[in-house]
Amino acid sequence: MASAIIPIAFLIFFSNFEPSSQFSLSVENPNEDVIVSSPKGTFTAGFSPVGQNAYCFGVWYSKPDRTLVWMANRDQPVNGKRSTLSLLKTGNLVLTDAGQSQVWSTNTLSLNPLELHLFDTGNLVLRELNNQSSVLWQSFDFPTDTLLPAQTLTRFTQLVSSRSESNFSSGFYRLFFDNDNVFRLLYEGPRVSSVYWPDPWLVSNNVGSGNGRTTYNSSRVAVLDSFGKFTSSDHFSFETVDYGLLLQRRLTLDHDGNVRVYSRIDGQNKWLISGQFRQQPCFIHGICGPNSICSYDHTSGRICSCLQGYSWIDEQDWSLGCKPSFQPSCDNKTTYQFLPLDEVDFYGYDYGSSFSNFTFKQCENLCLQLCDCMGFQYTFAADNGLFWCYPKTQLLNGHHSPGFSGTIFLRLPKSIENSRFQNNVNGLVCPKNSGAKQLDRSYVKGKENGSVKFMLWFASGLGVFEVLCILMVWFFLFRNSSHLGSGDKQGYVLAAATGFRKFSYSELKQATKGFTQEIGRGAGGIVYKGVLSDNRVAAIKRLHEFANQGESEFLAEVSIIGRLNHMNLIGMWGYCAEGKHRMLVYEYMENGTLAQNLSSNVLDWKKRYDIALGTARCLAYLHEECLEWILHCDIKPQNILLDSDYQPKVADFGLSKPLDRNSLNNSSFSRIRGTRGYMAPEWVFNLQITSKVDVYSYGIVVLEMVTGKSPTAGVQTTESGEVSHNERLATWVREKRRKASSAAGGEASWVEQIVDPTLGPDYDMNQMEILATVALECIEEEKDVRPTMSQVVERLQSHEHDSR
């Protein structure tokens, strides 16, 4: 016992006599030992937990959820005991792990007294006390994965992604200025590196050609302004969808390799994505690791799957990719077969260059002769009428793109049975909680064995001191153990969850004045207006269908919805589950629903275009972001709300259900969902339900916005008779377009014929035509012909500024 106790006392004794520090912060008081920014207190600097008994010194948004924006020691978290940040008399700011080793320092030197100051911009600055303009060190010069407004990314700095959603260590992606002055995204995996943004096959040039970047401006600076515009010196620029509003903003290189700008109203709970650099997640390199294929699946969003004949290296972490299930060998005894994979491409790693005018047999032989050929791409190029052969020495950045004309022929030993091919095709799910593993760090019990022995001899030699020592030890041990297991971590979790909370029935009854002010009525329940105790105006939905649903099942669904966040998705503040009462509390939208606004003619063409685009962005987010694959299933103008700027917010998930990605059977969709007039034919004909049902409903809503005609009412027309069910509006529009294209008058006039007459002549013909064309594609009978929501976003986005 004594030998375990004494070193603790010994170390405490010495750390208290640490040489000449001006001040220090201790990891043991994470709530009191912090620096709060001035003057507004937006940011806090201090120790933040990043795992079990693992802390980082960092800067975070004070309220309400502790979003970390900078870390001193992301790759070397410190122990929750006796770690300190100290400003030494020498002028050096040092972070010490468990009272022993120094894990980080600013390497500064000064004889004048210094102070550490946190600005309201989030910049942590070490400066002289008497001369505040002399800055020795600042955190803005050492960004981690986040760039704040007013923080400049320079030739000396870069952003590095986190390893995963919950592991803040340096990950595989970098955003930086390359040697040719171009601003780039780089995947730097364990084995290979490659640039994936801007598209590597487009060359930078003087502006106007290629990817629009210039190599001529060597100042190498990039900055996000507080209005939401990002500019870099190579002429790349980017505006968020909420450009112009003064919001809290941050640009983060996320762990999945995409750069996203997040924004929120000061101190409100949720960060909303207001822009991202890349739209197609499968084009981000390394996203699925080697020997696997990234694909976008209609039902389940983005998935990674191992190639046939390969298996996962780590099922919890698909970024590591797959390994061959066979023994790769280079002898000439093994015989091989080639397995065709249609519409699949792997980026890079071609052997030699490429080989044109090759027959299939020649290509196959070429691959067989190469020891490390893992397969080949065989493509017919229509422009020169030749077949091209690309032997691949590595299978990286694979993706499946429907419509891609090439085929990969995978080289596998004949000994692999065909039956094995079937097993690996289904993908891993997104590693949503794969980072939930905790850092396993035990408390280090003094390694100074020599000093222990010395202390023991010393103590036993002097009886009086021994008694003193043991008393001291008991005192410290008692103090320490009272800290052990105390709920720092728990406090953090609670704080993170406060923005989304549980309301009691009586609280909501009071807020709605006894459920009197009804503002809407849907299939799932009735919506009331209410004022919460903190004076926020809320829309409170009282569900009637869920009376039989258990509380835990309800909570599971609610917590999934609570985790979603997007600019164009209605914010949810909380829920109530008490007895048989089930209620959802949402933010209240002043301008009501799209349905109300359409019938009252306040929407000009510009607003209509923005609403169509915003709604598409929200649905693309729900369908494709790697969060939860969610179908809405009831898109209609009544479920699209408008905020004070007439930006759309999609509401009402009363009918939607997150899809279980592993068992994609449709038993959970046994009931017909949706609303007459907006329902895809799949519901009627009892076909497979995929995200394309939302695409269909979306198409109908856009047609309604363009024409001003409701799909549920009859279309007033003298030419065509009444057509049955919801095909009326669609048929009418298709007919107009068909007639216009066959007539000699040219294309434009069909839009004039269908456009909502209340708009008058004042609209942008081009944008209205895009809207109508996209809408017609969305309502194709055959679901596979309809575009995905992200394709819709890209189409609409590319014409967003046409009229300006």
Ligand X SMILES: *[C@@H]1O[C@H](CO)[C@@H](O)[C@H](O)[C@H]1NC(C)=O
Residues that bind ligand X in the complex, under the rule CB under 6 A: 51, 131, 133-134, 163, 167, 169, 217, 219, 221, 231, 233, 332, 357, 437, 439
SS3 548: helix
Kindly give the interhelix angle for 765-778 and 727-742, rounded to the nearest 10 degrees.
Answer: 120
Q: Measured from the CB atom, is 298 or 437 closer to ligand X?
A: 437
Q: How far is the CB of 169 from ligand X (least distance, A)?
A: 4
We find the least distance from the C-beta atom of residue 385 to ligand X, in angstroms, to be 8
- Work out how close the CB of 577 gets to ligand X at its nearest, in angstroms, rounded to a whole number: 33
Residues in the chain: 804
CB-nearer residue toward ligand X: 432 or 437: 437
**CB nearer ligand X, residue 133 or residue 419:** 133
Q: Are 182 and 204 in contact, with CB atoms under 8 Å apart?
A: yes
How far is C-alpha 297 from the chain's CA centre? 18
Q: Are 229 and 238 in contact (CB under 8 A)?
A: yes
Q: What are phi and psi of 265, to 5 degrees?
A: -70, 140
Residue with tokens 């389940």: 300
Of 634, 652, 694, 756, catalytic: 634
Q: CB under 8 Å to 234, separation ≥6 — which residues?
A: 177, 181, 182, 183, 204, 213, 214, 215, 217
Minimal distance in Å, beta carbon 221 to ligand X? 5
Q: Confirm whether residue 541 is marked as ligand binding.
A: yes
Residue spans of beta strands (DSSP E) within 1-111: 21-26, 35-36, 43-51, 54-61, 68-71, 78-79, 84-88, 93-97, 101-105
> Quick one: CA dihedral 600, 603, 609, 614, positive or negative?
negative
Q: Clarify whether 634 is annotated catalytic.
A: yes
Residue placing its CB nearer to ligand X in the complex, 51 or 574: 51
Is the Cβ of residue 51 or residue 91 nearer to ligand X in the bound state? 51
Closest separation in Å from C-beta 442 to ligand X: 14
DSSP 602-659: ---HHHHHHHHHHHHHHHHHHHHSSS--B-----SGGGEEE-TT--EEE---TT--B-
What phi and psi, each to the nearest 5 degrees, are found at residue 341?
Answer: -125, 110
Q: What is the amino acid identity at position 324? A: P
* Residue 526, CA atoms < 13 Å, CB-side half-sphere: 10
CA 727 from centroid of its chain's CA atoms: 37
We find the least distance from the C-beta atom of residue 741 to ligand X, in angstroms, to be 38
CB of 585 to ligand X, least distance (A): 35
Alpha-carbon span 320 to 576, nearest angstrom: 41
691, 623 in Cβ contact below 8 A?
yes
Tell me the residue type at 2. Answer: A
Nearer to ligand X, 231 or 279 (CB): 231
- Provide, rounded to whole angstroms, the least separation between the CB of residue 50 and ligand X: 8
DSSP string, 149-203: TTPEE-TT--EEEESSSS--SEEEEEEEE-TTS-EEEEEE-SS-EEEEES-TTSP
Q: Are strands 386-392 and 375-381 parallel, antiparallel or unpaired?
A: antiparallel
Residue facing ligand X at closest CB distance: 134
The answer to whether the CB of 708 falls within 8 A of the CB of 696 is no
* Residue (317 or 610) nearer to ligand X, CB: 317
At residue 428, the 3 state secondary structure works out as strand
Q: Which residue has the tokens 């030197």?
A: 109
Distance spanning both ends of the chain, measured CA to CA: 79
Contact between residue 399 and residue 37 where contact means Cβ atoms under 8 Å apart:
no
Q: How far is the CB of 188 from ligand X (least distance, A)?
A: 12
**396: nearest Cα among 350, 329, 347, 442:** 347
Nearer to ligand X by Cβ, of 438 and 741: the residue is 438
CB-CB contact of 620 with 295 (8 Å): no
**Separation between Cα atoms, residue 785 and residue 695, nearest integer Å:** 11
- Closest separation in Å from C-beta 181 to ligand X: 9
Dig out the tokens for 296 from the structure. 């976008």
Q: Which is nearer to ligand X, 233 or 512 (CB)?
A: 233
Q: Enter the tokens of residue 622.
A: 């729900």
Is the Cβ of residue 355 or residue 750 nearer to ligand X in the bound state? 355
* Residue entry with tokens 């698909």: 318
Least Å from the CB of residue 163 to ligand X = 4
User: In this complex, which beta carbon is closest to ligand X, that of residue 221 or of residue 456?
Assistant: 221
| Shortest CB 329 distance to ligand X, Å | 11
Burial class of residue 206 (count of CB atoms within 10 Å of its CB; 0-12, 13-18, 19+)? exposed
CA-CA distance, 298 to 363, in Å (whole number)?
Answer: 34
Reduce the DSSP state of residue 107 to 3 states and report it.
coil
Rank residues 33 and 115 by Cβ distance to ligand X and give the closer one.
115
Which amino acid, one-letter code, is at 646?
Answer: Y
Q: Hey, how many other C-beta atoms are within 10 angstroms of the C-beta on 745? A: 11
Residues marked as catalytic:
634
- Annotated binding-site residue numbers for ATP: 541
- Annotated binding-site residue numbers: 541
